[in-house]
């Protein structure tokens, strides 16, 4: 079942505009996010090809099969719990059968960890972006040679500097591993390139130094150390950085550069939204989707605050959330028995 077939069917029991337009934090450039719930056709549900959700390519539109919806609701997933409390003007379709699912069965102390935990994950994402922007990586990838050093006296110098100072090409060198020494090699030099040395590196993209067969009687000219751990860490960081460059949202990135605070302001805005919603769940026993502090959230999104200030505010708010959950009257977990019974009744009635 694809999105077009689902939307043209009568199997959708709930559909609503979600995201920033539901929170009231949307801008003129904001996309329209849609989330919904459907009941799989009887032959699909009883067959082998189960369907948990149907989405568009960008995941702006997502419909959850009712069983998956209940499963995520029992885990206090914030995006799912919001559907119990969408503003009336955002709801595009709601079948009466959806009312079998009750908000009182999903609100619990578990929200402390899903809402607040997700909020703190947003802080980490914002901090990670901060590091990427402040410390951009060169597109030219370093090679193994950049992580090699020559022992000199009681210290070391970079291989590139040593080669330049001695007017030696890396292709004229041969390496032999020094036994019982981690990533340490004896370096030999063949000026006339007649001894068949393989060089320090076989090719520019190699991930390891090259070893050569050294004739008897040849004298080593230096000791080389390869910082293999440093090279591996660099490769991982390089891969992650340019994967982020490839996948990043250009509009959000441009906004981050424009406000000059070097953090993802949209992530930080969601941090405070989630912390506030967690606080309300514990103190009021309800979910409020449309945010009453829209102006503050939009100021966060516009980059009106310094990162350190927002981090301190978020940590203070998190402490308040922890305190109110410690003293609230909510059950420890969602009422899985009631949710399961509602699911059974919904399927039974629908398929009948």
**Averaged pLDDT for residues 143-171:** 95
**Averaged pLDDT for residues 116-121:** 82
What's the mean per-residue pLDDT of the chain?
90
pLDDT of residue 264: 74
CATH 3.30.460 occupies which residues in the chain?
A: 1-106+334-352
Beta strand 222-226 with 148-152 is antiparallel
**Whether the predicted pLDDT of 125 surpasses 70:** no
Q: Where do the H-state alpha helices sit in 96-177? A: 111-134, 159-165
CB 189 within 8 A of CB 168: yes
Q: CA 147, 149, 151: angle at the middle one, nearest 5? A: 160
pLDDT of residue 198: 94
**Whether the predicted pLDDT of 194 surpasses 70:** yes
CB 222 within 8 A of CB 172: no
- Given the structure tokens 């350190």, which residue do they identify? 308
Beta bridge partners of residue 223, listed in sequence order:
186
Instruction: Report d(CA 199, CA 305) in Å as an integer.
Output: 54
Burial (0-12, 13-18, 19+ Cβ within 10 Å), 170: middle
Q: Single out the residue of 55, 58, 61, 65 nearest to residue 19, CA to CA.
A: 61
Confidence of residue 1 (pLDDT cuts 50, 70, 90): confident
CATH of domain 1-106+334-352: 3.30.460
Instruction: Report d(CA 327, CA 320) in Å as an integer.
Output: 11
- pTM, entire model: 0.68
Instruction: Report d(CA 114, CA 71) in Å as an integer.
Output: 14
Please write the tens of the pLDDT for every residue from 229-284.
999 999 998 998 888 777 666 665 555 545 555 577 888 899 999 999 999 999 99
Which CA distances in Å does 78 have to 36, 144, 288, 330?
14, 45, 12, 16
Confidence of residue 76 (pLDDT cuts 50, 70, 90): very high
Please write the tens of the pLDDT for every residue from 309-332.
888 899 899 999 999 999 999 999
CB 100 within 8 A of CB 346: yes
Q: Which residue has better confidence, 205 or 176?
A: 176
pLDDT of residue 244: 75
pLDDT of residue 257: 46
* Radius of gyration of the CA atoms of the chain, in A: 30
Please write the tens of the pLDDT for every residue from 28-50.
888 999 999 999 999 999 998 88
């Amino acid at each position: 079942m694809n999105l077009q077939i689902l939307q043209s069917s009568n199997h959708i029991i709930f559909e609503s505009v979600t995201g920033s337009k539901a929170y009231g934090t949307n801008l003129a450039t904001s996309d329209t996010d849609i989330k919904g719930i459907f009941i799989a056709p009887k032959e699909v549900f009883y067959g082998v090809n189960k369907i948990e959700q149907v989405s568009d390519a960008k995941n702006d539109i997502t419909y959850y099969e009712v069983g998956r919806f209940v499963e995520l609701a029992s885990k206090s997933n914030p995006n799912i719990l919001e559907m119990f409390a969408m503003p009336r003007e955002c709801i595009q379709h709601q079948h009466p059968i959806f009312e079998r699912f009750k908000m009182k069965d999903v609100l619990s102390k578990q929200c402390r960890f899903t809402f607040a935990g997700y909020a703190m994950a947003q802080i980490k994402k914002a901090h990670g972006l901060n590091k990427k922007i402040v410390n951009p990586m060169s597109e030219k990838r370093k090679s193994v040679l950049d992580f090699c050093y020559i022992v000199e006296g009681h210290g070391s110098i970079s291989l590139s500097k040593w080669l330049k100072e001695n007017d030696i090409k890396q292709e004229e060198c041969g390496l032999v591993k020094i036994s019982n020494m981690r990533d340490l090699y004896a370096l030999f030099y063949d000026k006339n390139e007649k001894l068949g040395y393989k060089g320090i590196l076989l090719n520019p993209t190699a991930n390891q130094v090259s070893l050569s067969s050294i004739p008897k009687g040849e004298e080593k000219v230096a000791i080389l150390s390869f910082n293999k751990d440093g090279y591996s860490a660099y490769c991982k960081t390089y891969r992650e950085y340019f994967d982020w460059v490839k996948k990043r949202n250009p509009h959000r990135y441009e906004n981050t550069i424009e406000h000059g605070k070097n953090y993802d302001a949209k992530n930080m805005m969601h941090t405070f939204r989630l912390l506030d919603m967690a606080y309300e769940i514990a103190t009021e026993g309800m979910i409020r989707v449309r945010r009453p502090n829209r102006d503050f959230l939009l100021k966060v999104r516009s980059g009106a605050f310094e990162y350190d200030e927002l981090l301190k505010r978020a940590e203070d708010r998190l402490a308040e959330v922890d305190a109110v959950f410690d003293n609230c009257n909510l059950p420890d977990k969602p009422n899985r028995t009631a949710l399961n019974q509602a699911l059974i009744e919904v399927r039974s009635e629908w398929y009948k």
